[in-house]
Amino acid sequence: MIGGIILGIVLVYIILILILIYGFRKVPTIKLKSLEPKIHFSVIIPFRDEAQRLPMLLLSIKKLHYPSTHVSFWFVDDASEDNSCEIIENFSKENSSINITILKNKRVSNSPKKDAIRTAISQLQSDWIVTTDADCILPSNWLSVFNQEIVFNQPKMIAAPVTYKEEKSFFNYFQLLDFLSLQGTTIGSFGLQIPFMCNGANLAYQKKAFLEVQGFAGNDSIASGDDVFLLEKFVQKWPKKIRYLKSTEALVQTFSVTTLRALISQRIRWASKSVNYSLLSGKLIGIVVILMNLICCIAPFLLLFTDISWQLILFLWLSKFIFDSILLAQTIRFTQQKFRFFSVLFSSILYPFFTVFVFLTSFFSKYTWKERTFRK
């Protein structure tokens, strides 16, 4: 009986990954065309103590190929204690043609980032909002390809890709693989027309539409989720007006964390919002994924203490490695990064234990974010 259950879960997981691979390929890869800039953007960037990363973001802003008359940048300071504001102010003085405004965050909820976005939206005038993070690097044609997508398809919301800046260490590459597995799943879900994830470091939406769905109302008690819960509202109201911008011209880079403790805290924060998903597709995919990882974790004990055959356990692990690798490989190819076989192999062994640990811990553990402690 146990063997039958395991086999059933493995087969369902294989089918799920194959469907996501198909969905990934269904999303067209967008090439930038010569098109007049028509859309006026307001880019919202919440920040807290980002003095180390801000210079890289600001340099990438300076290199953007988009008319300064058509874009404004709204930096929202969430009680920074370093010289982040001074860095932005100095940059603004040296680059007066770039429209930069610094605001103080108005805290009204349990979510500093949502409050920061609302603080900016209450003042900006542009029709389109783009959100990113202060520790990101923006590609030079970022807004140009968003402009193209809006002019051609008239969406209400556009999700776009994010990756980690690749580094040599296994610890950083493990994070990259974990992150890209989420990106691959995200793109696949869009291709299947059942989107349930996106990333607030690269997300655009109409201001009018944001106000029409009442923004973040209803999920203020959850510290994170400024992206996925807003996506759910848009999907429920305009299911055909949500687009994924699968373009390297729109690919934003960010950075992995430097310590295991920070990684666990970050992943607990991500996992803590998943139980509040309202879209059935996200819940079902999450259940299948966690069950598959859980079985991988207990497989050695099943082999020792039950009559489960070693062939079934081998099939379990090989199936997960092979099909996960296919989804990862096409995502890595899209982000133009390296597929390191042995690192992928070793990561595939560690990943189930890491995932299950984070999942279980998220139910009762607090997490730290920007030196603040949050409850689930």
The residue segments making up the domain with residue 11 are 2-23+279-374
Give the pLDDT score at 266.
87
Give the pLDDT score at 275.
64
228 and 361 belong to one structural domain: no
Of the three residues 258, 292, 326, the one that is the final residue of a domain is 258
81 and 16 belong to one structural domain: no
Interaxial angle between packed helices 170-191 and 2-26, expressed in degrees from 0 to 180 and rounded to the nearest 10 = 80
Please give the average per-residue pLDDT across 162-181, as a whole number.
94
Tell me: pLDDT of 195 over 70: yes
CA distance 224 to 228: 9
Q: Flag whether 264 is in a domain.
A: no
Give the pLDDT score at 298.
92
299 and 155 belong to one structural domain: no
49 and 11 belong to one structural domain: no
Question: Which residue from 224, 208, 212 is spatially nearest to 116, judged by alpha carbons?
Answer: 224
Percent of the chain with pLDDT over 90: 75
Tell me: pLDDT of 271 over 90: no
pLDDT, tens digit (0-9, with 9 covering 90-100), for 205-221:
999 999 999 988 877 66
Q: Flag whether 356 is in a domain.
A: yes
85 and 173 belong to one structural domain: yes
Give the pLDDT score at 99.
96
Tell me: pLDDT of 87 over 90: yes
Of the three residues 258, 287, 305, the one that is the final residue of a domain is 258
Q: Flag whether 266 is in a domain.
A: no
40 and 183 belong to one structural domain: yes
Q: Flag whether 347 is in a domain.
A: yes
Are 20 and 189 in contact by the 8 Å Cβ rule? The answer is yes
152 and 233 belong to one structural domain: yes
pLDDT band at 41 (very low <50, low <70, confident <90, very high): very high
Name the H helices within 122-159: 142-153
194 and 296 belong to one structural domain: no
Tell me: pLDDT of 116 over 90: yes
Of the three residues 204, 226, 258, the one that is the final residue of a domain is 258
- Here the CATH number for the domain that contains residue 218 is 3.90.550.10
Give the pLDDT score at 369.
62
Q: Flag whether 274 is in a domain.
A: no
197 and 317 belong to one structural domain: no
Mean pLDDT over the full length of the chain: 91
| pTM for the predicted model, two decimal places | 0.92
* Secondary structure of residue 363 in the 3-state scheme: coil
Give the pLDDT score at 221.
64
Q: Flag whether 302 is in a domain.
A: yes
Please give the average per-residue pLDDT across 44-69, as a whole number.
96
208 and 287 belong to one structural domain: no
- The total number of structural domains in the chain stands at 2
Please give the average per-residue pLDDT across 254-277, as a whole number.
84
List phi, psi (to 5°) of 12.
-65, -40
Percent of the chain with pLDDT over 70: 94
Please give the average per-residue pLDDT across 263-273, as a whole number.
83
Q: Flag whether 351 is in a domain.
A: yes
Tell me: pLDDT of 277 over 80: no
- Distances in Å between the alpha carbon of 307 and those of 1, 4, 190? 11, 12, 41
37 and 13 belong to one structural domain: no
Q: Flag whether 270 is in a domain.
A: no
Give the pLDDT score at 121.
94
pLDDT, tens digit (0-9, with 9 covering 90-100), for 344-372:
999 999 999 999 999 888 877 666 666 66
247 and 347 belong to one structural domain: no
Interaxial angle between packed helices 341-361 and 310-335, expressed in degrees from 0 to 180 and rounded to the nearest 10 = 100
* Secondary structure of residue 144 in the 3-state scheme: helix
